[in-house]
Amino acid sequence: MRASLRGRHISGAEGLFEAPEVQKAAKRYIKRALTHPKGRPDEITITVEVLKTPPLKTASLPVWTIRSGSTKKARGIVKSVLSANGISEKAQNAALSLLRAGGTVRGAALIEKTTGKRLDKEPLRGLRVSRLGIQKGALGSLSARLSKRGINTDTVKEAIVLASKVASAPGISAELCISDDPHYTTGYVASTEAGYLRVPCMKRKGSKSGGRVFFTEPGADVEKIALYLEKRPVMVGSVSPVGGIISLDELSHISHSKPRGGGGDSRKNK
């Protein structure tokens, strides 16, 4: 689904559904476009297509919320998680300044993790992750786990599904995301190793900044990454644990003392 007002992007969303679910899903997408906080669109496009290849299965990333308290602390948290994932200072700064500018890329920017160089070819478009979804049973168990933590919203679920597909992509090392919604100030940093780490206070309330950055391994094949993220159908088929609010110190303690479990076995579909 794509919705716009006088040519300005309002809302976009995608999913994979069993045939009998398609009508209901389309209805939900239209409702969502018509009730979007960014305004009432004057154009909504719904595209429905049959998959030509069966979807790959992946597990959702394990979820944690990192206690932050201020935008300064949030940035510090993001930087230490990215550093732990081998993202250079240069690449971190390139990403943070792109996201701070906000609203300039419709999709995600690809940034090389050592040089900090932007690799995707169309600066305003970026890369649009598509053909992703979650199986009905997995959605039920993800919703239940998120509910226990008080965060069972479409925004959170869709971001987890997207981040899980991105983390499963060949050549991607980590992701950084800040919502472009002025009132949604929680962002996340994600990778196969770190999981999906929600970080509150990523920006000040009312700020229009936001966007997504995918950090690539050095020498990664950009075409191959784009093909995987934009075209390859991937579905979350199993769900990893959803943790509560924790400090980064406490988290590193947990992840060092015991291996992460809960259905994360088939996560890397490389």
- Using CB under 6 A, list all residues that contact ligand WAQ: 12, 105-108, 127-129, 155-156, 159, 162, 177, 179-181, 184, 186-188, 198, 210-212
Distances (CA, A) of 71 to 20, 211, 237, 240, 248: 44, 16, 34, 28, 15
Which partner, ligand WAQ, Mg ion, none, binds residue 159 by CB below 5 to 8 Å per kind?
A: ligand WAQ
Q: CB of residue 217 vs ligand WAQ: minimum separation in angstroms?
A: 19
Most distant CA pair in the chain: distance in Å?
Answer: 53
Q: Closest CB to Mg ion among 211 and 243?
A: 211
Contact between 180 and Mg ion per CB under 5 A: yes
CB 62 within 8 A of CB 195: yes
Report the residue number, 181 or 250, with the smaller CB distance to Mg ion.
Answer: 181
d(CA 35, CA 40): 7
CB 130, min distance to ligand WAQ, A = 6
The residue (of 112 and 180) whose beta carbon lies closer to Mg ion is: 180
Which lies closer to ligand WAQ via its Cβ, residue 29 or residue 188? Answer: 188
Instruction: Find the shortest distance in angstroms from Cβ 151 to ligand WAQ.
Output: 6
CA angle 262, 198, 92 (to 5 degrees): 115
Interface segment toward Mg ion; rule CB under 5 A; list 20-28, 117-125, 130-138, 177-185 = 177-185
Answer for which of 14, 158, 181, 193 binds Mg ion (CB under 5 A) is 181
Least CB distance to Mg ion at residue 54 (A):
30
